[in-house]
């Protein structure tokens, strides 16, 4: 239902742009002029959708709490490609119109500003696709993607100051509306970052869980979050310019905020080298991946590797609150050496009546427990009446896809499966 509200809102803004374009037309013009008007429609439609695109990617808590940031970012990526396609039709239709009329306008400020705006747009849209294939570096993508904030001002300059007939009143209303939305988004982004910088956290401890996994603990203003949510982290150090999303692994009832982070070669490889007392900043929390409210429904956690982090937070919170839940945790790893926080889990099992922890190892020949991968047989061996349980999934994309397919084959209803597919690029 919520995604339909978002779609309806976007459609309403687009319909407004089309209506105002139609009101600005002059009757009785030749075909070449109609083609030019159609080109203008493509430009206006794309221009009207740009603020929506910006809002989807601006980490607005109101949108996140209702729709989920993971869904917003998926929509953000797909709609970005659609908007780029619509805007690309603008210059293509102008070229066709000029060919039909036999007259081509000289390359001046109008075409120059349009070319710059389209170039910036395609740099922003193309960066996730190219960076993901060539570099897989979040920092590289984030730096290039920032040009997206210049697209709308450039499009405004191109359309309002150098486009045809900027004084048409219906379009003046559209330009004013879009400018106000753009200003509101920029203000929101600025004020949230300002508030974050006013309340810095301090690195209090770094714990090496495995050779590749570290837990970063920070002290500062209490972070009011639900177990399972994530936040954006920025560390005050040389070369650290980007905000990085990580799941919060600590309980909301603890004084410290912790992130358990696996090194994958980018900013994450710097975690182990951070110093005690170093400043850090947080934006958040975000996400709807939280424990179901109904205490009587059995819960199954399916975790793949570092995907255990939200469940660490959930179990720590339940243990701190003295809450008992019927929970089965199936945690997939390669070897016994990949398992960490064993003391924590031992404590959880003592303090949470009904908690069952099952390790599933795929490459440990000496392991006496569940071997291989999490599949239907493993689930049915460890979960009684899985059809009545609610499943929470977290892990790498391949793990998530496989687990989701298994649950569907088992006949688990869609509304009993909770997951968040989170990827910025």
CATH of the domain at 399: 3.40.50.80
Distances 122 to 90, 118, 135, 154, 160 between C-alpha atoms, Å: 14, 6, 18, 13, 21
Residues 158 and 267 in one domain: no
Same domain? For 40 and 174 the reply is yes
The predicted pLDDT at position 332 comes to 94
- 36 located within any domain: yes
Q: Are residues 206 and 143 in the same domain?
A: no
Residue 424, domain member (yes or no)? no
Say what the pLDDT of residue 166 is.
Answer: 47
Last residue of a domain, one of 265, 286, 307: 286
Indicate whether 425 belongs to any domain.
no
CATH code of the domain covering residue 232: 2.40.30.10
143/215 same-domain check: no
Asked if the structure places residue 413 within a domain, the reply is: yes
CATH of the domain at 78: 1.20.120.1770
- How many residues does the structure list for the chain? 425
Residue 54 and residue 148 in contact, taking contact as beta carbons nearer than 8 Å: yes
168 inside domain: yes
Cα–Cα dist 216/349, whole Å: 24
Last residue of a domain, one of 223, 256, 286: 286
Does 63 map to a domain? yes
**Same domain for 172 and 211?**
no
**Do 131 and 214 sit in the same domain of this protein?**
no
Is 160 in the same domain as 227? no
Inside any domain, residue 392: yes
CA distance 61 to 241: 22
Tell me the whole-structure pTM to 2 decimals: 0.76
Number of folded domains in the chain? 3
- Three-class SS of the chain: CHHHHHHHHHHHHHHHHHHHHHHCCCCCCCHHHHHHHHHHHHHHHHHHHHHHHHHHCCCCHHHHHHHCHHHHHHHHHHHHHHHHHHHHHHHHHHHHHHHHHCCCCCCCHHHHHHHHHHHHHHHHHHHHHHHHHHCCCHHHHHHHHCCHHHHHHHHHHHHHHCCCCCCCHHHHHHHHHHHHHHHHHHHHHHHHHHHHHHCCEEEEEEEECCCCEEEEEEECCCCCCCCCCEEEEEECCCCCCCCEEEEECCCCCCCCEEEEEECCCCHHHHHHHCCCCCEEEEEEEECCCCCCCCCCCCEEEEEEHHHHHHHHHHHHHHHHHCCCCCEEEEEEECCHHHCCCHHHHHHHHHHCCCEEEEEEECCCCCCCCEECCCCHHHHHHHCCCHHHCEEEEECCHHHHHHHHHHHHHCCCCHHHEEECCCCCC
Statement to judge: residues 35 and 163 lie in one domain = yes
Residue 9 sits in the same domain as residue 106: yes
Residue-range definition of the domain harbouring residue 227: 200-286
Residues 164 and 41 in one domain: yes
d(CA 222, CA 28): 66
Of 226, 253, 286, the domain-final residue: 286
pLDDT in tens, the chain (425 residues): 555 555 666 666 566 656 655 555 555 555 455 666 777 778 878 888 888 888 777 777 777 666 667 777 777 777 778 888 888 888 887 787 777 767 667 777 777 878 888 887 777 776 666 655 555 556 666 666 777 778 888 887 877 766 655 445 667 777 788 888 888 888 888 888 888 888 889 999 999 999 999 999 999 988 889 999 999 998 876 555 678 889 999 999 888 999 999 988 677 888 888 889 999 999 889 888 888 887 788 999 999 999 999 999 999 999 988 778 899 999 999 999 999 988 899 999 888 888 999 999 998 888 888 999 999 999 999 998 899 999 999 999 899 999 999 999 999 998 899 987 755 55
Same domain, 122 and 138: yes
Q: Are residues 138 and 85 in the same domain?
A: yes
* Residue at 291 is within a domain: no
């Amino acid at each position: 239902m919520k995604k339909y509200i978002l779609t309806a809102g976007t459609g309403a803004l687009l319909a407004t742009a089309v209506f105002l374009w139609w009101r600005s037309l002059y009757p009785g013009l030749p075909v070449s002029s109609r083609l030019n008007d159609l080109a203008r429609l493509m430009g206006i439609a794309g221009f009207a959708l740009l603020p929506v695109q910006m809002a989807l990617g601006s980490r607005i808590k109101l949108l996140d709490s209702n729709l989920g940031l993971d869904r917003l970012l998926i929509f953000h990526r797909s709609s970005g490609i659609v908007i780029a396609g619509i805007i690309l039709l603008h210059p293509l239709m102008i070229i066709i119109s000029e060919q039909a009329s036999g007259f081509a306008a000289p390359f001046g400020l109008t075409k120059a500003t349009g070319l710059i705006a389209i170039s910036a747009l395609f740099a922003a849209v193309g960066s996730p696709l190219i960076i993901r294939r060539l570099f897989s570096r979040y920092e590289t993508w984030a730096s290039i993607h920032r040009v997206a904030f210049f697209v709308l001002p450039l499009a405004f300059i191109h359309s309002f100051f150098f486009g045809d007939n900027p004084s048409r009143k219906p379009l003046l209303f559209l330009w004013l509306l879009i400018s106000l939305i753009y200003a509101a988004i920029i203000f929101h982004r600025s004020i949230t970052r300002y508030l974050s910088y006013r309340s810095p956290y301090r690195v209090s401890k770094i714990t090496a869980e495995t050779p590749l996994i570290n837990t970063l603990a920070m002290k500062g203003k209490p972070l009011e979050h639900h177990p399972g949510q994530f936040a954006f982290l920025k560390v005050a150090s040389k070369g650290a310019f980007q905000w990085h999303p990580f799941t919060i692994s600590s309980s909301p009832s603890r004084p410290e905020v912790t992130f358990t982070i696996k090194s994958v070669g980018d900013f994450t490889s710097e975690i182990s080298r951070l110093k005690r007392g170093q400043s850090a900043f947080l934006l958040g929390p975000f996400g709807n991946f939280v424990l179901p409210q109904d205490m009587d429904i059995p819960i199954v956690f399916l975790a793949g590797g570092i995907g255990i982090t939200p469940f660490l937070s959930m179990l720590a919170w339940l243990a701190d609150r003295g809450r008992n839940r019927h929970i089965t945790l199936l945690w997939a790893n390669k070897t016994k050496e990949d398992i960490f926080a064993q003391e924590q889990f031992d404590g959880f099992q003592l303090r949470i009546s009904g908690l069952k922890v099952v390790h599933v190892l795929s490459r440990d020949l000496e392991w006496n427990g569940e071997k291989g991968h999490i599949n239907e047989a493993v689930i049915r061996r460890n979960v009684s009446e899985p059809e009545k349980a609610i499943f929470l999934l977290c892990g790498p994309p391949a793990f998530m896809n496989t687990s989701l397919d298994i649950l569907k084959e088992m006949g688990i209803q869609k509304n009993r499966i909770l997951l968040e597919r989170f990827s910025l690029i």
